[in-house]
A and B are shown apart, each in its own frame.
Chain A
Amino acid sequence: MSKVIGIDLGTTNSCMAIMDGQDAKVIENAEGARTTPSMVAFSDGDERIVGQPAKRQAVTNPENTLFAI
């Protein structure tokens, strides 16, 4: 029986949940938040940053930060 993961890929924020038996359970991200901003940024070293860190550096990297898609 494979695990099912549900992803709400929203314009501003995204959220993920799994089926835990009969209930849907929202999964927290690596920072402990239950929703993640839908942003992705590409920094100087060809590093790809997603989520809240991407939002935090948006000011300094406006050409390479994508959001509200």
Chain B
Amino acid sequence: MSQIPENMEPEETSADSVEVEQLANDDTVADAADSPAVEDSGGENNPDGDEKVTFALDGDDTSTPEADIARLEAELASSHDKLLRAVAETENVRRRAQRDKEDTARYAVSNFSRDLLSVVDNLRRALDSVDAETRKENPALENLMIGVEMTERELLTAFERNNIRRMETIGQKFDPNFHEAMFEYDDPDQPAKTIGQEIEAGYMLHDRALRPAKVGITKGGPKSDAAGQDEAPVAPEEPADSSAGSTAYDPRSGAPGEQFDEEL
């Protein structure tokens, strides 16, 4: 071929400067200034029928219409792709914000009510501390205990109104999502991993465990596969508004409602 400059390497970055040299040195075919692929550039006479690499006729620096169309179509395709992604992103953000808002409203009371649970515990302990006979002997004490009972009942009613319910635990199969095992003890009569003792009551808020119940579970009995199917009737499930907005990191939205019994 005609003279090829020594520093000529088929890379893109120095292509322009090389082309300038080329034009200066050699008036044969030169690349278009905006050609994307320049492996063949420099000193070669490329036919203008080459479609992969854009070459200019006569060495001027405007590219052919076909080249323009191809380039613009590629840009259009990539812009369209970006647009679709941006729209999907916006939709995801909107959906996530909506779900966050709903969750916040639904579980807004959880921190406050979790602190109030210890109040309920203490009222129950106060009531249990005095036995029935002592109450009968002392009318003033009896009145006081009646007052404490009414207070406890009112607090539990307020909880009910806010969808906070106490868990039924004794006799149920142990479920780590709602119960916290404190110890195991031998009881061959019950199926293994049944809750035998309740140390501290658990409470549910809607379908989440507000506070897990602290329980003692049995071991040494027969294994049971049917989890709670022959137990007392299960509570009706919460309307599936939580599952409508659930995404990949909330897979169990339907299951928890089956496991606890509602005291009516």
Q: Which residue of A lies closest to B212 (CB)?
A: A56
Known: A44-B223, A59-B182. A31 touches B209 (CB 8 A): yes
Asked whether B229 is an interface residue with its Cβ less than 8 Å from the other chain, the reply is no
Q: A60: which of B86, B103, B181 is its contact (CB, 8 Å)?
A: B181
Count of interface residues, chain B, beta-carbon cutoff 8 Å: 28
Asked if B110 contacts A32 (CB within 8 A), the reply is yes
Q: A57: which of B86, B89, B181, B250 is its contact (CB, 8 Å)?
A: B181
CA distance A60 to B84 in the complex (A): 51
Known: A27-B249, A30-B249, A44-B223. A53 touches B177 (CB 8 A): yes
Q: A59: which of B110, B183, B208 is its contact (CB, 8 Å)?
A: B183
Asked whether B124 is an interface residue with its Cβ less than 8 Å from the other chain, the reply is no
- Show 25 residue pairs from A and B whose CB-CB distance is below 8 angstroms, ordered by the A residue: A1-B86, A1-B89, A20-B93, A29-B249, A30-B249, A30-B250, A30-B251, A31-B208, A31-B209, A32-B107, A32-B110, A32-B208, A44-B223, A49-B176, A54-B176, A56-B176, A56-B180, A56-B181, A56-B212, A57-B176, A57-B181, A58-B181, A59-B183, A60-B174, A60-B193
Chain B residues, CB < 8 A from A59 = 181-184
Q: B176: which of A20, A27, A53 is its contact (CB, 8 Å)?
A: A53
Q: SS class of chain B's interface: helix, strand, loop or mixed?
A: mixed
Q: Which size bracket describes the interface of A in this complex?
A: 10 to 19
Instruction: List 6 additional contacts besides A30-B250, A56-B181, A59-B183; criterion CB under 8 Å.
Output: A1-B89, A31-B208, A49-B176, A56-B180, A56-B212, A60-B181
Chain B residues, CB < 8 A from A32 = 103, 107, 110, 208
Chain B residues, CB < 8 A from A41 = 176
Chain A residues, CB < 8 A from B252 = 30
Distance to closest chain B CB from A26 (angstroms): 12
Distance to closest chain B CB from A34 (angstroms): 12
Contact mask for chain A residues 29-51; partner B; CB cutoff 8 A; 1 contact, 0 none:
11110000000010011000100
CA distance A29 to B223 in the complex (A): 31
Asked whether B217 is an interface residue with its Cβ less than 8 Å from the other chain, the reply is yes
